Structure 1
Amino acid sequence: MEDSSRVSERGAGWACQTIGTFEKLRPGRSTFTWLRPSTLWRSRNEILARWLGDPSPEVRRRWAAAQRERGADPDFRIPVEAGEEFSFLLLGDSGEGDASQYAVVPGLLKIGQGTSFAIIASDVIYPTGSANEYCDKFFRPYKDYLAPIYAVPGNHDWYDGLGGFMRVFCDAPPLTAERRGFRLSPAGLRGLLWKKPDRVDEAALARAREMRGLPEQRGRHGRWAVQPASYWVLDTGGLLIVGIDTGIDGRLDREQGEWLRRVSAGPLPKILVTGKPIYVDNAHHPCPIEGGGTVDDVVRDPANRYVAAIGGDVHNYQRYPVRVGDRTIQYIVSGGGGAFTHATHTIPRVDVGGVEEDEFRCYPLRGDSLSFYSLLYSRRLHLRGLYVTPEEAVALMSRAIGNTPPRPAGDIRTTARMRWAARLLGGWPMPFHLPVGRFFHRWISELSDWDTPPFFKSFLHISVYGDRLRVRCHAATGCLRQEIAPPIEDEVEIPL
C-alpha cells in the first residue's frame, strides 16, 4: 500500500501541491446544495414514507411486472461474457455532479482500463433521481469508461418514483398512473403530497446518451437497456453478482425476497450488491424481507455460497470480515463514489459480528476524518483551537479506540485542547457534539466549500482469477499525485 493514507499524510492527500485534472472535466463550477427550499421540497418523499408509509414496494412490483410484460428475462438475469478471468469496478453514491464526484473519475478511468463492466451501488443521482439530471451526473463523468455500467438504486433514486432510473438503465416508459380517489387516511394524504416522477426531456436525454453511445458501453447487442429491472443477476459463468433494490426504507418486498431466495440457490459463488449495507458503523442491519426472514439470512446460508456483500448509502469505505461457521464473508461499505464523505471517526471500537477492531478497515482513517471535520468547523466557526492536525488526530483516535495507530504518528502528547476538540467533534464519547453525520451532510455541509482536496473518495476494483477473488479499495483525493497512481487503501483476497 505504498503512498496510501496508512503510510503517510502525503499519501492521504494532506500535502496536495497540485490539484488533479478533474477540474477540466467538470461542466461548471456549481456545487451541489441541499439548502435551496425547492431541493428540500423535491426530496420530501423519504419523510412522507416515514410518517405515512412507504409505497415503494408496491411501485417496485409494478415496475417488475411491466418489464416482464415487455419481454425481460423472468429472473432478470443478465448474461455477461467476461471469460474465466476478468475484473470490474464498483462505486456507490456517486451522483452529486460537483467536484467531489468528478475527482473520482480520472483514477477510476485509469484503474478501470480493461475491466468488463462497472456497478454503481446506490444513489446514482442526487437529490431526487430525475432523468433530467443524468447528463452531468452520469453520462458526462463516465463518458470515457468503455464498458457497460449497471446499477442498483438508492433512496434518492426512489424520490423520483424510480422513473429516471428505469428510463435510463432499463429504457422503460413511465408507469401508467393509477386513478384513485382521495381517502381520509395516511395513504390518501401521502398520495396528495407524494412527489411524482419528473417528465423526461427526451431530446436532452437522447443527447446525453450519445456521450456513452458506443456499442461496448451500451451492454449486450448494443442496446440502450443494459439491465432488465432495478434488481438483477449478472451471470458471468463462474460467478453470480446479485443486485437488490432496497427502496427508501431498506426493506425488500415479498416478491423480490422470493426472487432473491430463488436466484441465490445453487453452487456458484456469489456477491451481493445492495443499496443499504448490512454491516456499517459497527452495527448490523440484516435488511428485513416482507413476510419474514432477512437478506442476511440468505447471504449467510452456506448453500447459497455468498462470499461478499457490498452496499452503498453511507459515504465512506468500511470492511467487516465476519466469520459464519467455517467461512468468512466480507461485508463491505462502498459509498465513496462522489457524494460528500461521511465521518468515520464517530465509529466506536469495532466488536460487531465477532469482528475485532484490528480486523476492521475504513477509509478515510478515523484520524483523517477527525482532522478533516476539525478543519472545516474551525474555519466556519472561527475557532482556531478546534483544529486538530492529521498527526494529532491519528494519535487521538488511536488512544480513544485503543488500537494500533494505522499510520505512524510519532510521539504526540495529547493536550486538554486536543481532547476537547475531539469530544466536540464526536471522536470521544460525549452527550453532545457538533453534527458530523447524516444531519451534517443533509443540512450543514453546504455552508462550507467542499471543492478543495483532499476529498477522501474511493472506488473498488474487483478481480476474478483462478479460484480467488481480489477486492481493492482505491482512493481518490483530488490531488494530481493520487490521480496518476490511485493509492490502494485496502486489499483482501477471497477464496471462491
Structure 2
Amino acid sequence: MPSHPRRKAIRAPRATAAAQPVFGQPQLSPDPSSFVKPHPSDSGLYRRTNNKLVQPVPEPRSAGSGTTVEPVLTLAEVYGDAGPAKVAAIEKAGQVVFHCVGDTGSVKGPETQSLVADKMVSDFNEVNRANVPSFFFHLGDVVYSFGEGKYYYDQFYEPYRDYPGPIIAIPGNHDGLVYGGDSAPTLDAFLRNFCAPAPVRTAEAGGLLRTAMIAPSVYFTLESPFVRILGLYSNVLEDPGIISSEGGTRPQLDDRQLNYLTAALKRCKQEKYAGAVILAVHHPPFTGGVNHSGSPRMLEEMDKCCEAAGFWPHAVVSGHAHNYQRYTRSVAGLQVPYLVAGDGGHGLARIRTDVYGQPVRTPYPVTSTLSFDSYDDTKYGYLRVIVNAQKIRIEYHTAADGTTMKTPDDQITVDLKTRVLS
C-alpha cells in the first residue's frame, strides 16, 4: 500500500496474554516510509564478533505434539480454538497453500521488505478460498544484524501487520548471532517471539495485535494437512551451516538435530506418510551466489539421516543467499529440487558468472548429479507452495510483478508418488 510518514510504535512494557492467537491487523493500513527506530551501521559490532564461534542450540521448550526427540507443532495448534475447523477446511478443499521466504529484515528502511510483504498479502485475495495461503513458513534471518529485540517492530511486526495468517519460523544465522559484550544471549528475541509457550503479545509487537508463535523448539516438525515441514537450525556462522557437533569437533554443540531429523524421517517411513515432506534449513546446501558458499558437511549429514531412515524429502528449501535459486539433484534414484529463497527484503546478491565472466545460462550442469536450473538475482520475491494428495508445486513470485499478477516467474512440480519433476 502507499507509504505514510513514520509513526510511533506503542511499546508494551512486557508481554501481555491473549486468549487466542491473533495474526494480522483487522484493517489494512499504508506502509511506513521510515523506521520507528533508525538502524545505525553495525560495522563496529561486527568487529566484535567471533566469526568462527558457533552458539549452543537451546533445548526444546516442550515436545509439542511430538516427542522430546522430534518436537512437533501442528497447524491446528497454531490456530488455537479455530484449529480443528481450519484443518477441516483445508482437507475439504483438497490442498494446502503456504508461503516460504527468508532474509526479510532490512537495515536500510522499510521499502524492500514492504514490497514483498504486500505482494504476499495480495495472495489472500482469491475467488477460490482453496487458493488462499494458510501460513507463512519463514526460512530465517527475520531481524538483522544480531536479532535484536529493539528492531523486531520495524523489521518484522510492522511489515507483516496486514498479513492475515500465522507466521512460523526457523532461525537464521543473524537471528542467533551475538557480539562481544552483547547483553542478550543467543536467540533471545527469536525465542520470545517464535517459540513462546502461549500466544502472548510481546513487547516487540508494540501496539500491533499479532501474537507470538508457539513453536516448541528452534528445530521442529510442522504438521499440516498434506505436508510436513522438517525445520533445522543451522547456527550463526556466515558459512557454512552447522547442525551437529561434527564428530565432536564443535564442543558447544551436540547431535540432537541429527537425531531429530533421523527420527522425523523414520516416522514418515514407518507411517507410510503419503503427503509431501519438505526439509527447511536456513543455510543452503548449494548456492551460486557471490556472497555465500554452500554447506557440504551439513549436506553430508542430512544425507546420512535420510539413508538411515530410508526416506528422502520431496524438496529442500533454504534462505541465506540473498536471491532466488533452484537446483535439481539426483540422489538415491530420485530427483529432489533444492530451492534458495533469500530475497525477502534484506538486500540482493548477484549470482557468480560462468568461466567466461558471463551471466550463467540455465540449466547449467554443476556436476553429473546436480543441475542449476533457474535463478533471479535482481528482484525481491518469495515462494508460494501448493500441495495436494498427488503433487507439490513450488512457485516463485517476484514483488516487482505487482499485487495483481498471479502468474509465477518460475515453478517446479513434484509428483509425490513417482518423484518425477515437471
What TM-score results when the alignment is normalised by the length of structure 2? 0.70
User: How many angstroms apart in 2 are the aligned matches of 1:300 and 1:489?
Assistant: 34
Seen in structure 2, the aligned counterparts of structure 1 residues 48 and 345 have a Cα distance that, compared at 3 Å, is closer
- Report the Cα distance in structure 1 between the residues aligned to 2:37 and 2:296, rounded to whole angstroms: 32
User: 1:395-414 to 2 correspondence within 5 Å?
Assistant: none
The structure carrying a bigger helix percent of its residues is 1
- Give deviations 1:410-447, integer Å, cap 9, x for gaps: xxxxxxxxxxxxxxxxxxxxxxxxxxxxxxxxxxxxxx
In the alignment, which of 58, 68, 76 is matched to residue 71 of structure 2? 76
What does 1:355-374 align with in structure 2 at a 5 Å threshold? 360-364=373-377, 369=378
Pair 1:146-2:164 in alignment: yes
The 3 A distance-change label for structure 1 pair 299 and 309 is farther
Structure-2 separation of matches of 1:70 and 1:238: 19
Q: Does 1:169 align with 2:194?
A: yes
Aligned to 1:100: 112
- The Cα of 1:329 is off from its aligned counterpart by 0.2
| Structure in which a larger fraction of residues adopt strand | 2
Q: Could you list the runs of 4 or more consecutive aligned residues of structure 1 that deviate by over 6 angstroms after TM superposition?
A: 31-35, 69-72
Letter of the aligned partner of 1:136 in structure 2?
A: D
2:23 alignment partner in structure 1: none
2:318 pairs with 302, 311, 321, which one?
311
The answer for the alignment partner of 1:275 in structure 2 is 282
2:3 corresponding residue in structure 1: 23
Cα distance, 1:212–1:351 mapped onto 2, change above 3 Å:
same
* Residue 251 (1) aligns with residue 242 (2): yes
**Following the alignment from structure 2 to structure 1, what is the Cα–Cα distance between the partners of residues 312 and 389?**
17
* Structure 1: gaps of 5 or more residues: 1-20, 174-201, 214-223, 370-455
**Alignment partner of 1:129: what SS?**
coil
Q: CA deviation at 1:145?
A: 1.6
Any conservation in 2 of the 1:273–1:309 contact (CA below 8 Å)?
yes
Supply the distance in 2 between the matched residues of 1:32 and 1:355 (Cα, whole angstroms).
Answer: 47
Structure 2, unaligned runs of 5 or more: 5-29, 76-86, 126-131, 179-185, 245-254, 417-422
1:236 partner amino acid: S
Moved more, 118-127 or 27-36: 27-36
CA distance in 1, matches of 2:139, 2:243: 16
Does the 8 Å CA contact 1:233/1:242 hold for their aligned counterparts? yes
Q: Distance in 2 between matches of 1:462 and 1:71?
A: 24
CA deviation map 1:102-151 (0-9, x unaligned): 11122111124521111110200011111221112111111222221111
Residues 363, 299 of structure 1: CA spacing in aligned structure 2 closer, same or farther, 3 A cutoff? farther
Distance in 1 (CA, whole Å) between partners of 2:174 and 2:119 is 25
Cα distance change, pair 301–72 in 1 and its aligned pair in 2 (3 A)? closer
In structure 2, relative to structure 1, the CA distance for the partners of 1:327 and 1:71 (3 Å cut) is closer
The CA distance in 1 between the partners of 2:103 and 2:36, in whole Å, is 16
Asked whether the equivalents of residues 65 and 72 of structure 2 are also in contact (C-alpha less than 8 Å), the reply is no
Partner of 1:495: 415
Show the counterpart of 2:22. Answer: none
Question: Per the alignment, in what secondary structure is the counterpart of residue 246 of structure 1?
Answer: coil
Distance 1:467 1:334 in 2: 24
Query: CA distance change for structure 1 residues 337 and 275 in 2, over 3 Å: closer, same or farther?
Result: same
Distance 2:411 2:64 in 1: 41
Q: Report the alpha carbon displacement of residue 298 of structure 1 after superposing the two structures with TM.
A: 3.2
* Residue number in structure 2 paired with 1:211: 209
CA RMSD of aligned residues (A): 3.1
Q: What is the match of residue 48 of structure 1?
A: 50
TM-score when normalising by structure 1: 0.60
Q: Which residue of 1 aligns with 2:224?
A: 236
Q: Report the residue type matching 2:375 in the other structure.
A: C
Which has the larger Rg? 1
The 1:326/1:129 distance shift into structure 2, 3 A limit, reads same
Contact map agreement 1:166 1:172 (CA 8 A) in 2: no
Alpha carbons 1:300, 1:306 under 8 Å: kept: no
Alpha-carbon distance in structure 2 between the residues aligned to 1:255 and 1:171: 21
Quick one: which amino acid aligns to residue 222 of structure 2?
Answer: L
Distance 1:313 1:203 in 2: 26
> Which residue is 2:82 aligned to?
none
Q: Distance in 1 between matches of 2:191 and 2:149?
A: 9
Which of 467, 489, 493 is the matching residue for 2:390? 467
- Distance in 2 between residues matched to 1:70 and 1:329, nearest whole Å: 29
**What corresponds to 1:137 in structure 2?**
155
Conserved 8 A contact 2:141-2:320:
yes
Offset from partner CA, 1:252-306 (integer Å, 9 cap, x none): 12111111111121333410111101111187523439xxx51243357782231
SS in 2 for 1:352: strand
Tell me the SS of whatever aligns to 1:64: coil
Instruction: State the distance in 2 between where 1:346 and 1:122 align.
Output: 27
Matching residue's letter, 1:100: T
* SS of equivalent residue, structure 2 residue 32: coil
2-structure distance, mates of 1:353, 1:300: 21
Q: Does 1:227 align with 2:212?
A: no
Distance 1:475 1:71, change over 3 A: closer
Residue of 143, 149, 158 corresponding to 1:125:
143
Q: Secondary structure at the match of 1:488?
A: coil
